[in-house]
Chain A
């Protein structure tokens, strides 16, 4: 029975084809990124402004006690570095989602979606490609930060990688989920105001949560419920060769939930087509 179908064109796709597709999508995203030098520079300038200016100013205001994973008193710059790494990924996740909206409008998304490979796989590849781009940005940031005396243990540069991949996927999926809901490019400003800023400020990126708790218990709970807090903590611990299990669990769960949501929302039969008319005159 099984050998009879051999003369026929094989159904389905081999693992090699999936891998070819994945590398192709990541490669194209990388090429596009290299062509958008302004995007790379602004992706770097943003966290560096925080590091060089904001952190320097805040150094005296905010004392950091010894909290895990740190074993000594640390400078404020050292404290916010993981938060800034996560911020890079947050912006990148939202920006790749913006590019998916742009792609969709420009018809490039159509090229992707007529690939015969399963659609969930194509979107997953897109997410991985966006994450790969965010890794380039984060490591470039770490390189510059090293000259600014932010020197995690050498092995930390390696142990942080899986954490960055996971947090990149989580934030990318969130971006994709949100991008399925916005109709026009201008609305990205809304995403900045209503997603990026609240997520960033209501998190442990800029201040340890015990300090937040002293100021406002309610905000403390908001921060605890914010997945971005856990992305920051996951990265912070991983950078020092440790695992924050709670953060890992939260980030992993959110990644799965956001990714499934994003893939379902992107399914044009559920999303595009139904939204097209409801969204009014497009």
Chain B
């Protein structure tokens, strides 16, 4: 509590939500194996509502496995995943309706129009056609693609597709948003746009965000950080505290000290 966190803005700690509040996402003792290979080992952390939590790890650290478990693509082998207190295994319907996801691979129908993609997603959530049409128009306006509503997704740029996927993930008004390396393959401008858009969702709409990445420069001092390496959580907490506890100056060195790697994942982008 009193740990010095020179890099963290003090404001952040003060704004921590009421401790009685249910976490947006709680991962509790989750392990997962693919046969003999252990992909996740006793992983536990929380994502608070209205917070931006970065899940930092190299490729193969277990980020995508974790996402597959949270989105119920894989069954949970051991441990518990809760979304606003709803257990993903025992009440998946209640949990999933509070969850929006942007997967790492593109999951849009390229031959359908922007609106058609959004309407399909809305239907999967049981949102009536009229309501879905209104929400789609509103969201397309917000991401600056209103004039492209009728064009095929195939004709969009990579950054525009990502923005559309984020809009789609928000269509059913979730309170928790998961993004799995959403900026991979985007240029600098598109990356910056996506990051600021998602941060805006946190501050303006109070959405809890779990942002998986291997890029240090996507993490800011006011975020929460979870460092995942070879299936284990090596550190978690406000960015400043994680850096201080690792005796480092920045996220980059903290990560290298914690994991003992010499790789510089940030440079890879």
B45 within 8 A of A: no
B96 touching A24, Cβ below 8 Å? no
Please give the number of chain A residues whose Cβ is less than 8 angstroms from any Cβ of chain B in the complex.
39
Chain A residues within 8 Å of B123, by CB: 20-21, 23-25, 27-28
B75 touching A116, Cβ below 8 Å? no
B119 touching A24, Cβ below 8 Å? yes
Category for how many chain B residues contact A: 35 or more
B259 within 8 A of A: no
A28 touching B120, Cβ below 8 Å? yes
A218 within 8 A of B: no
B54 within 8 A of A: no
Chain A residues within 8 Å of B127, by CB: 20
Which residue in B33, B92, B107, B116 is a CB contact (below 8 Å) of A106?
B107
Instruction: Give A198 Cβ to nearest chain B Cβ, in Å.
Output: 33
Q: Please report the C-alpha to C-alpha distance between residue A188 and residue B75 in the assembled complex, in whole angstroms.
A: 27
Instruction: Give B35 Cβ to nearest chain A Cβ, in Å.
Output: 3
Q: Please report the C-alpha to C-alpha distance between residue A98 and residue B178 in the assembled complex, in whole angstroms.
A: 29
B106 touching A107, Cβ below 8 Å? yes
Chain A residues within 8 Å of B122, by CB: 24
Interface residues in B121-158 (C-beta closer than 8 Å to A) = 121-129
Instruction: Give B76 Cβ to nearest chain A Cβ, in Å.
Output: 8
Interface residues in A88-131 (C-beta closer than 8 Å to B) = 106-108, 110-118, 122
Which residue in A32, A106, A115, A270 is a CB contact (below 8 Å) of B124?
A115
| Known contacts A20-B128, A31-B112, A269-B75; A116 and B92 CB within 8 A of each other | yes
A154 within 8 A of B: no
B103 touching A107, Cβ below 8 Å? yes
A12 within 8 A of B: yes
Chain A residues within 8 Å of B103, by CB: 107, 110-111
A13 touching B93, Cβ below 8 Å? yes
- Which of A43-51, A160-168, A271-279 faces chain B? A271-279
Q: Could you jot down 26 A-B contacts, CB within 8 Å? A: A12-B93, A13-B126, A21-B123, A21-B125, A27-B123, A31-B112, A35-B112, A106-B107, A107-B103, A107-B107, A108-B107, A108-B109, A110-B73, A111-B124, A113-B72, A115-B124, A115-B125, A116-B97, A117-B124, A118-B93, A267-B75, A269-B74, A269-B76, A270-B75, A277-B34, A277-B35
Apart from A11-B94, A108-B107, A113-B73, what are 10 other A-B pairs with CB-CB below 8 Å? A16-B126, A24-B120, A27-B120, A31-B116, A106-B105, A106-B106, A110-B73, A112-B124, A114-B101, A269-B74
Residues of B whose CB lies within 8 Å of any CB of A are 33-37, 71-77, 92-97, 99, 101, 103, 105-107, 109, 111-112, 116, 119-129
